[in-house]
Every structure is written in C-alpha cells, then in structure tokens.
Amino acid sequence: MACMADTVTSDTIDQVADEVGAGNSVVAVLELFGIAPMEFYRALDKYPEACSRYERARQARAEGLVEEIITIADCENDSQKARNRIDARKWYAGKMMPGKYGERIELNVTGQVDLRAAMADATLRLRPVSDQHQVTDAEYAVLPAPTQPGASDKTSDAPENPPKKQGSIFD
C-alpha cells in the first residue's frame, strides 16, 4: 500500500483549511476529500506553512461556533436543547482556543515582599521582657462542685460540704 501522505499537498491542506474555516468538521472534510486522518496530519508535519493556515482555520471555526451561541440563545424555543447546544460550543471553543475561551485561570503575581521590614515592624510592636510586670503573688479559691449528689446523681463522690480554701499559691 502506497503512502498517501505524498498525495496530500500544500494546496490540498489549504482546501481542507478553507472548509474547516467555513465551519465544517475536519473529519467530514477529510472524508469528502478521501484523505485518511493520519495521512492528513503527516502532511501537516511536512508542510509547516500550510499547518499554520490550517490552525488559523480551526480558530476561525471556533470563533464561528462562539458567534452561534448568541443566535441559539435568542432563537431556540426549547431551553434544554439550547443549553446543550451552547455548552457543546463553549466546550469546543475552550478546547480549540484555551487561552481565549478556556476555563483555566492563570494567576501571575509579580512583585517583591521585603520581609525584613515586616519583621522589624513586628519587633517594634513587641514589649521587651523588662517592661512586663512580674507576677509575685496570686490568690486562689476552691469552689464547690457544680452539682451536689442527689436523686439524679447516685455515682458522684463529691462531699456534701467541700472545704473552702483561700490563700497564696506560695504558702
């Protein structure tokens, strides 16, 4: 079997590109011309200038599908059918031209942060240890348990009148 890639010329690629740019699917156009998809893509490798024209035609097709979205939204009576048609066109345009219609969000941050200045500001806000008051004495009290044993509490070991203590923690 002879390799058909030699029969796919730059002019043939231009004709396919014209049809694709007009809105036709590449698969349908290749079938119309009798070209196998792999033969076509091998020919694109062989003719880089034709490859760029074909790529522009694919972008034109994506742009045409995006333009159809408004017509579909305005004219289609069945809302579910309209939603499906619109979503299919948005998906296709996003795949064909991801930089323009894709859902990818790119976040490029440029700039510098001087952490030394931020650390110096934070250090100034701190009080030195010498400025802090020392705790020399404290008082404490032992409070009674929150619940006393009774009819509903049979397992508590809390004394009926717990002792109350007061004094310094240093006693």
Asked whether residue 50 is assigned to any structural domain, the reply reads yes
Q: What is the pLDDT of residue 35?
A: 94
Q: What is the pTM of this model?
A: 0.52
SS3 state at 168? strand
CATH of the domain at 37: 1.10.10.60
Confidence of residue 171 (pLDDT cuts 50, 70, 90): low
Structure tokens at 41: 């893509």
Q: What pLDDT, in 10s, does the model give residues 42-75?
A: 999 999 888 889 999 999 998 998 999 999 999 9
Residue with tokens 């348990």: 145
Asked whether residue 93 is assigned to any structural domain, the reply reads yes
Asked whether residue 86 is assigned to any structural domain, the reply reads yes
Residue 44 belongs to domain spanning: 4-101
Asked whether residue 54 is assigned to any structural domain, the reply reads yes
Asked whether residue 45 is assigned to any structural domain, the reply reads yes
Q: What pLDDT, in 10s, does the model give residues 98-145?
A: 888 887 666 787 888 778 888 888 887 776 666 656 666 667 777 777
Which residue would you say has higher pLDDT here, 171 or 129? Answer: 129
The number of folded domains in the chain is 1
Q: Shortest CA distance to 15 belongs to which of 3, 33, 31, 27?
A: 33
Asked whether residue 116 is assigned to any structural domain, the reply reads no
